[in-house]
Amino acid sequence: MPRPLVPPDADFARRVRDSFDRQAFMRLLGARMTRVEPGLVEVELAWRQPLTQQHGFVHAGATSAIADTAGGYAAYTLFPAGCSVLTVEFKINLLAPARGERLVATGRVVRPGRTLTVCDLEVVALDGGAASPCARGLQTLIRLDRPDAPP
Amino acid sequence: MPRPLVPPDADFARRVRDSFDRQAFMRLLGARMTRVEPGLVEVELAWRQPLTQQHGFVHAGATSAIADTAGGYAAYTLFPAGCSVLTVEFKINLLAPARGERLVATGRVVRPGRTLTVCDLEVVALDGGAASPCARGLQTLIRLDRPDAPP
Amino acid sequence: MPRPLVPPDADFARRVRDSFDRQAFMRLLGARMTRVEPGLVEVELAWRQPLTQQHGFVHAGATSAIADTAGGYAAYTLFPAGCSVLTVEFKINLLAPARGERLVATGRVVRPGRTLTVCDLEVVALDGGAASPCARGLQTLIRLDRPDAPP
Amino acid sequence: MPRPLVPPDADFARRVRDSFDRQAFMRLLGARMTRVEPGLVEVELAWRQPLTQQHGFVHAGATSAIADTAGGYAAYTLFPAGCSVLTVEFKINLLAPARGERLVATGRVVRPGRTLTVCDLEVVALDGGAASPCARGLQTLIRLDRPDAPP
């Protein structure tokens, strides 16, 4: 059984939400951070026409953006204060068109590390009461020992 | 030496640009399609504050979105009329922070196919006269035999 | 809750094991198929010196090979008789050096499809009674409507 | 234009070949290192029946193993002496069945770094005089500041 993930910074949730609030791009998309736990973050995106591709579904780029963000902050929950996080790379499978009222992206740490962290990414589409899988990914993050703020 | 890629639809460039113009999400980002050739598409994105993450660089999600779009339309240049394209999956390495005046994403078909197409993705950051590599990816697309338009 | 995966071919387990037995490369590695269920296959590999890289751990290539095989056959459990399976692509994160007595690779279908199937890949290292995560991956497979046998 | 890659260790080629020679798994496969340059390594694999999957082609796992190895050592050419290299992750697209007399895998550094290096991977199948693309990948490597030898 996996050991519980213990954040070294007790104030991790506030730190994560502050950083997310500084992401202008998440505001442009209309994304909201709906869950912050040790090693797990959820980001929600309601369907809006400006987010769509040519068939009227949410663009794979928007789906990927919230998945990448959820994973990045999931890693960040386990960092000490005074560090920042960067995405090294991610891979995402778009399992089904992103239709429905809203998307929920979940990032989960599967391998915490001193330098590198690996996260599972999952996006589900919610429509009425039903949830259907929309995307699945795997992501590598790096911890930088410098403050998480603009230079 | 690779054989030249010959689009079965002589009118491919117009078809690609029309489809791109229907992507509301590319408009939201402010992305422009700057080059359309057989098996190759370029998408440009000028730096704007609403595209940034917490450090003031273009968000990895925006970088990925234009890379995914460039690759998708590179594949689409080689499809017959009356088809549409969907991203099956992509993987992207963020090589360096996306700083500079603008990003140029290039999608190049490396394996055209009846059902599946594989593209190389590359994003460079332009700053003054200098170009520096920003991201690199690999993407799988599927061709659907149905019109490229909202249902 | 995900729907149970129902193989269209009741005889799927025999078909999967027969195909695995025709993989000379799995014999060269000494890999064994230890579990075959609808949408799930396990492949085991005992540590042997000929499988190692320069530090004495199992080579990432061998770890990847059993992960790829487990996922390919997990997809294959859900195919009708008379088809074959090919790996389109996979991505794998090597989470920790592959040390221990043996590796167990598990492939799990997360998105079954008429043409494309997506699998989660997981490799754990077993040492004494302890299991530790060794690799994690994501894979896309394609179904071909031709017999699974050499031409 | 990319700057030339300059290895900090003038003796890099010998160091790379010595390490490759300690990979028992490459011997098991029958792979040979055929080219070592700054930031570029080639590994060849002749077709042999023990390397095949159920259709008689070289197994995707063997193709991936030589691609991973070529990329790992391409990164390693640019490391100072006294370090070692580990694959963090890779993604590979199998473009066509690996038929032909032999496979040539090439790893090329596209982003050298103090901690992380990113490589392009390419595998071609040679048959008579003809070369056809067989696989394409993208890989992330990490440099460890400890000797490249068994503990």
pTM here is 0.96
Contact C121, D92 (CB under 8 A): no
State the complex-level ipTM. Answer: 0.94
Can you read off the two tokens belonging to residue D89? 């992750």
Checking if the pLDDT of C150 tops 90, the result is no
Q: Is B17 left (phi over 0), alpha (psi -120 to 50) or beta?
A: alpha
Residues of chain B with C-beta less than 8 angstroms from the C-beta of A87:
60, 94
Residues of A within 8 A of D114 (CB-CB) are: none
Q: What is the largest CA-CA distance in chain A?
A: 45
Average predicted confidence (pLDDT) for chain A: 94
Identity of the amino acid at A145: D
Where on the phi/psi map is residue A148: left (φ > 0), alpha (ψ -120 to 50), or beta?
Answer: beta
pLDDT digits (tens, 9 = 90+) for C78-136: 999 999 999 999 999 999 988 889 999 999 999 999 999 999 999 999 998 899 999 99
- Element spanning D33, H or E: strand D32-37
Q: Average pLDDT of D63-75?
A: 98
Rounded to an integer, the average pLDDT of A26-36 is 98
- What pLDDT, in 10s, does the model give residues B76-111? 999 999 999 999 999 999 999 888 899 999 999 999
Which of A96, A111, A138 faces C137 most closely, judged by CB atoms?
Answer: A138
- Residue A1, pLDDT above cutoff 50: no
pLDDT band, residue D1 (cuts 50/70/90)? very low
With a cut of 80, say whether residue A149 has pLDDT above it.
no
Asked if D136 and B96 come within 8 Å (Cβ–Cβ), the reply is no
Give the tens place of pLDDT for each residue, A98-116: 888 999 999 999 999 999 9
- Mutate which: D1, D88, D91, D123, vs B, most B CBs within 10 A: D91
- How far apart, in whole angstroms, are the C-alpha atoms of residue A128 and residue A125? 10
User: Is residue C3 over pLDDT 70?
Assistant: no
Q: How far is A86 from chain D (nearest CA, A)?
A: 13
Q: In chain C, which among 19-58 make CB contacts under 8 A with chain D?
A: 19-20, 22-29, 49-56, 58
pLDDT band at C44 (very low <50, low <70, confident <90, very high): very high
Alpha carbon separation from A27 to A18, B49, B57, B69, B97 (Å, rounded)? 13, 11, 15, 21, 20
B142 contacts C88? CB cut-off 8 A: no
- Chains meeting B at 3+ CB pairs closer than 8 A? A, C, D
User: What's the mean pLDDT when you consider all of chain B?
Assistant: 94
Q: How far is C82 from chain A (nearest CA, A)?
A: 25
pLDDT at C12: 96
As to burial, measured by CB atoms within 10 angstroms (0-12 exposed, 13-18 middle, 19+ buried), residue C38 is middle
Find, in chain B, the residue whose alpha carbon is nearest to that of A91: B91
- The fraction of chain B above a pLDDT of 70, given in percent, is 96
Q: Smallest Cβ distance to A62: which of B25, B54, B66?
A: B25
* CB A109, CB C93: distance < 8 Å: no
3-state secondary structure of B78: coil
Asked whether residue B61 carries a pLDDT value surpassing 70, the answer given is yes
Instruction: Provide φ and ψ at A12, rounded to 5°.
Output: -60, -40
* Chain A residues touching D115 at Cβ < 8 A: 115, 142
pLDDT digits (tens, 9 = 90+) for A68-94: 999 999 999 999 999 999 999 999 999
